[in-house]
Amino acid sequence: MRGPGDQRRRGRGSGREAEALGSAVEAKQGAAGAFYDMDQAQKYLEGRVTLLTDLDQNAGATARRDFERLDSAADAASMGYIDVVDAHDLDSADRSLAEYDAARRAFLAVTDRLRKITGDLNHFAERLVPQMARLESALDRLPPRLTAARDAVAAAEAAIESARKAGMDAADPEAELSAAREGLAQLSAQGLGGLGLSGALDKADEVAQIARRAREAAEELPRLGEKVRNSVASVRTRVDVVAGRVEPVRQAMKKLLVGYSQACWQDLRGAPEAIEGGVTRARERLNEASDLLSRNEWKRAQQALTAARTELNAADRRAGQVTGRVADLDAVRADPAAPVESARFVVRDAQKLAIAQPGGAAPEHARVLDGLVERLEAAPKALTGAHPDYWAYLRELEAVKTAAGDVVARIRAERAAGN
């Protein structure tokens, strides 16, 4: 009697068993090749997606989501392949014909699965080719821009160093240069600096632009010094001119106080003192600018000059208000009817335009213009007493002219909208 083991051992050398073993081994080798191909395709695609993300974060994020689905399928297929290998040890001597056949079928099935996923991975990689080609072509533009940025930073450094050696205050150009260096460091630290290709190209251009500004500012320092020196002389002359207006303003204020009612000059009270104060402050800022010039602090000197000009402008305007008020009041006292005629001319022009509209004047425009005519008639009646309020009279007539101008503007706007 022979047992089952004896029967199995007797069949090992048969042609059928050898053929089954050979088919199983061949299927296993095919599965191993398919596994290798899928693994390579998976790694290649992951690298392309990573590069795409570096170059274009938005496109990379979309590609990453699609890749993760394929990546999970590939990982699952890898585990399935390993499970099949572990389940079918073809090196074991204790295997039956049926077991060899089961192994062959298992390896063929896992091979099909591996090849399908490899095809999906390769197809996805092919879809990325045009986009990657475009981005990689654009990537070629980055090195020369980085070189330009580095060259601009180096030129700015040289210009600032030259200005510093000449004893000039280069704090502002140095601040610009510091910003350029930070941007350059971001680009140089790690690939595209997390900016993506477009962001890296823009950052390189920005660095170059900032560095150029720093260089130009440093090179401008000597010319700025000369410009500020000339401005100091110009402002000093203007200080003397404005200071010379104080006495005429005093005389004009006396004339206002004596010849006109308080309502005509009360808003100008203290004008001579205000002008004197402005001139004094302008001189102080001017002296400050001169002191800063001696220390080559051009920008601060320029700021002091700007402050001096602001004081002079305010003082000059104040002086003009006083002398202009006297001229206006003298003119209206000599001929009170002239301002009324001027205002009436403006109102009549507005009335002509309103009437010339299709269908005649619009009711809302007519009401306003009729009201302005009434104000024109009433204005001269307010000039009563020994010292009439000529200033209020002039302001009322100017208000009428402004209101008439507003009507004209509205009519023209409505006509334009209708066309």
In a domain, 2, yes or no: no
Residues 81 and 43 reside in one and the same domain: yes
Q: Same domain for 312 and 396?
A: no
The answer to whether residue 231 is domain-embedded is: no
Shared-domain flag, residues 407 and 380: yes
Please determine, for residue 339, whether its predicted confidence score (pLDDT) is greater than 90.
Answer: yes
Residue 3 lies in a domain: no
Domain end (from 159, 186, 221): 221
Q: How many domains in the chain?
A: 4
Per-residue pLDDT at 267 exceeds 80: yes
Q: Is residue 154 situated within a structural domain?
A: yes
From 139, 166, 192, the end of a domain falls on: 139
Answer yes or no: do 298 and 271 share one domain. yes
Looking at the structure, do residues 201 and 248 belong to the same domain, yes or no?
Answer: no
The parent domain of residue 254 ranges over: 244-333
Whether residues 262 and 341 share a domain: the answer is: no
Say what the pLDDT of residue 220 is: 82
Q: Both 37 and 98 in a single domain? A: yes
Does the structure show a pLDDT above 80 at 237? yes
pLDDT at 4 over 50: no
Q: Does one domain contain both 132 and 52? A: yes
The model's pLDDT over 310-326, given as tens digits with 9 standing for 90+, comes to 999 999 999 999 999 99
Write down the pTM of the prediction.
0.54
Query: Does 276 fall in a domain?
Result: yes
Last residue of a domain, one of 313, 333, 353: 333
* Claim to verify: residue 293 and residue 278 sit in the same structural domain: yes
SS (H, E, C) the chain: CCCHHHHHHHHCCCHHHHHHHHHHHHHHHHHHHHHHHHHHHHHHHHHHHHHHHHHCHHHHHHHHHHHHHHHHHHHHHHHHHHHHHHHCCCCCCCCCHHHHHHHHHHHHHHHHHHHHHHHHHHHHHHHHHHHHHHHHHHHCCHHHHHHHHHHHHHHHHHHHHHHHHCCCCCHHHHHHHHHHHHHHHHHHHCCCCCCHHHHHHHHHHHHHHHHHHHHHHHHHHHHHHHHHHHHHHHHHHHHHHHHCCHHHHHHHHHHHHHHCCHHHCHHHCCHHHHHHHHHHHHHHHHHHHHHHHHCCCHHHHHHHHHHHHHHHHHHHHHHHHHHHHHHHHHHHHHCCHHHHHHHHHHHHHHHHHHHCCCCCCCHHHHHHHHHHHHHHHHHHHHCCCCCCCHHHHHHHHHHHHHHHHHHHHHHHHHHHHHC
45 and 127, same domain (yes or no) = yes
